[in-house]
Amino acid sequence: MGSSHVIDPILLPSLSCDIIRDFAPIATLASSEQFLVLNPSVPANTLQEFIALAKSRPGQLNYSSVGAGSTNNLSAELFNILAGIKTLHVPFKGANIKLDT
């Protein structure tokens, strides 16, 4: 199922359909990887160093996504929970894609 099929029932409890009952997955068309990318000015070179830094500065490190409730946002929040850290979400309205020719 697509990410919206998983996310929408949680974020939109008044949906008029039952995602599990009314839809049946028939094929995987795509998958998406999630990456943690840091600005070079962040004093962390490994995941362990980043987690230690974030634990020492709770709520002071920001991350961005294409919007609240997006796959990127929810992945980052899951990472926060699993790593025991707190970062600040800065949502943008939609994806910013730059294509070089």
Report pLDDT digits (tens) over 46-66.
Answer: 999 999 999 999 999 999 888
Domain that holds residue 68: 32-95
Q: Are residues 40 and 87 in the same domain?
A: yes
Domain contains 100: no
For 56-66, give one letter per residue: b (16+ CB within 10 A) or e: eeeeebebebb
Question: Which pTM does this prediction carry?
Answer: 0.68
Q: Are residues 47 and 77 in the same domain?
A: yes
What region, left, alpha or beta, does residue 76 occupy, with left being phi > 0 and alpha being psi -120 to 50 degrees? Answer: alpha
Contact 7, 69 (CB under 8 A): yes
pLDDT of 24 > 70? The answer is yes
Domain tally, the chain? 2
Domain contains 101: no
Q: Are residues 39 and 50 in the same domain?
A: yes
Query: β-strands 62-65, 88-91: how paired?
Result: parallel
